[in-house]
Amino acid sequence: MESVMTLFISNDDVQAAIDSKKLRLEPIIGAIEGAYSDLGADKAAYAPRRGVSVPVDDGHRHEDFEDEKFVFGVMEGAVQSTGYFAIRLKLDMTYRFDDPVTGAKTHEKYCIEPGRYCGLILLVDARTAEPLAFMNDGVVQHLRVAATNVLAAKHMAREDARVLGIYGSGGMARSHAQMMGYVRELGEIRVFSPTRAHREAFAAEMEDELRVPVRAVDSADLLPRDCDMLAACTDSRVPVVMPDAIRPGLFLTCVTANEVAREARDRIDAVVLHQTIESSTLRTYATGEGRIDPSGFIDPIVDPPNPVYSTGPKVRGTLAELVNGRIKGRLDRQESVFFYNNIGSGLQFAAIAGEVYRVLHDAPGLREIPTDWLTQSIRD
């Protein structure tokens, strides 16, 4: 075998390419749209998201970490038109955290020690099975979620939507602010997160970068006022979007399944799902007695799942159907519509990691691994 190298592309490599405009955000959105177009035409595929969760035994549990457990997650997908397959895996220790200062209730995670994380993507050439690259998933993770929600906004938000409200001020919120302007002409962005310094820093940074007015508001109740679009971009384990946020003409989206209160969902006129709940996730977990049981095909965050968000009169269909014109995301200006980004998909990683590789594969300075280290002469 001739000398072939598999790349390692780090978060720093991807972020530097974004900052230098070598990796542009508009083609990232286009890559996601192409993937869902392929999916609707039966030219893309993904496996249900899967995971294994194992509680930490008493002898190794941190005293201050509530409900601590090891969680492994894996997602795979392939896009025929680009010829990329990706598998993304995560290794997390997770626990519940109640912030004594802000009152926020979140799911926290770490790998080895707090502040470190392990998420990896293996990108493969689906036409030859060649391992092309390993990537950190941090920046790609934010890109794939934001690009998916922005794609939904392209098809569901009113054409004259101008004001975007964002719950959260972290990396996921930043990606949504940076991308939404590619599908709607933004006149203002508003942001709320529980820590005042965080939301004010986010507003200052985004206003300087985007040249759009960005205002930090002092409460979650104030955020939705006069907003045409709302994006919940938090790690909260309790709802942040409440019923009063739902108004005529609104476009709403989220990044986790539990950010929108059940009562708020009930006020929504129409829903488009990222995926049907029955096809989106299958998890295996260890119970306290050590038995291994399947958790079943359910939304893992909302338990029990609200049946209106798997079937029902409000659900028009999925994102792939929306992109391919089989359903309409909005029937009139007065409809309040919700893109329920209920669970992720390996298809997103195939699309985004593929675009990252296409742009960066010949960039100088990337680390390399001999591909023959990863292949063998013994047939499986």
Q: Look-up: residue for tokens 């295996």?
A: 284
DSSP-assigned letters across all residues of 252-310: EEESSTTSB-HHHHHH-SEEEESS-HHHHEEEEEE-TT--EEEEESS-SSSSSPPGGGT
Q: What CATH number has the domain spanning 5-140+347-373? A: 3.30.1780.10
Q: Is 327 helix (H, G, I), strand (E, B) or coil?
A: coil
Count of residues making up the chain: 380
- CATH number listed for the domain at residues 149-280+300-344: 3.40.50.720
Bond prior to 100 in cis (omega within 30° of 0): no
Q: What is the pTM of this model?
A: 0.89
Phi, psi of 147 (to 5 degrees): -65, -35
Letter for the amino acid at 372?
Answer: D
One pLDDT digit (tens) per residue for the chain, 380 residues? 566 899 999 999 999 999 999 999 999 999 999 999 999 888 998 887 888 888 888 888 887 888 889 999 999 999 999 999 999 999 999 998 888 888 888 889 999 999 999 999 999 999 999 999 999 999 999 999 999 999 999 999 999 999 999 999 999 999 999 999 999 999 999 999 999 999 999 999 999 999 999 999 999 999 999 999 999 999 888 899 999 999 999 999 999 878 999 899 889 999 999 887 545 444 443 333 333 333 333 333 333 344 445 556 788 989 999 999 999 999 999 999 999 987 788 999 999 999 999 999 999 999 999 999 999 999 98
Q: Specify the pairing of strand 367-370 against strand 5-9.
A: antiparallel
Measure the CA–CA gap between 168 and 177, rounded to whole angstroms. 11
d(CA 193, CA 102) in angstroms, rounded, equals: 10
Cβ atoms of 1 and 128 closer than 8 Å: no
- The phi and psi torsions of 82 (rounded to 5 degrees) equal -95, -20
Task: Evaluate whether 349 touches 74 at the Cβ level (below 8 Å).
Answer: no
**Ranges of each domain in the chain:** 5-140+347-373, 149-280+300-344
